[in-house]
Amino acid sequence: MENEILSQYPKKVKLRWRWDGENNDYITYQNPQSGAICILNPVGASIFNYCDGSITVDEIITKMLDEYDVPSRDYLKNDVVSFVTEFNKMGIIMLLSD
C-alpha cells in the first residue's frame, strides 16, 4: 500500500486554513468533521501545503529533502506517508490517481 500511495496526488479538500505564527511557519485549520481548530507544526504545514493535487507523494518527499535536514529519505518518507494516510482517513486530503 505504501508504494501505491507514493504515486498518488494528494489534494486537500476545501476547508478553512491559514498560515499562522510569527514567521508564518504553522498552519491553523478547522477540522471539517468536528469543527475543532487544529494546528500543524512546520513539517506538517509543509506537507499540507504541498497537497495541492499537482505533485505525487514521492515528489513531496523529494522537495522536502531539500528543505529539511533528516537522517534519511526513508525517515522522511515514513513521516510523509503517515501524514497523508491519516489526513486521508480524516477526509482532509483526498488521494488522486494519475
The pLDDT assigned to 32 comes to 87
Which phi-psi region, left, alpha or beta, contains residue 56 (left: φ > 0; alpha: ψ -120 to 50)?
A: beta
Q: How many residues does the chain have?
A: 98
Residues 1-17 have pLDDT tens digits of 567 999 999 999 999 99
Express as a percent the part of the chain with pLDDT over 70.
Answer: 98
**H/E stretch holding 84:** helix 73-89
Residues 8-48 have pLDDT tens digits of 999 999 999 999 999 999 999 999 888 999 999 999 999 99
Q: What architecture is the 2-92 domain classified under in CATH?
A: Alpha-Beta Complex (3.90)
The pLDDT assigned to 3 comes to 77
Quick count: other Cβ atoms within 10 Å of Cβ 77? 20
Residues 76-94 have pLDDT tens digits of 999 999 999 999 999 999 9
- Find, among 94, 93, 98, the residue nearest to 44 by Cα: 93
Its pTM surpasses 0.85: yes
User: Structural domain boundaries of the chain?
Assistant: 2-92
The pLDDT assigned to 1 comes to 57
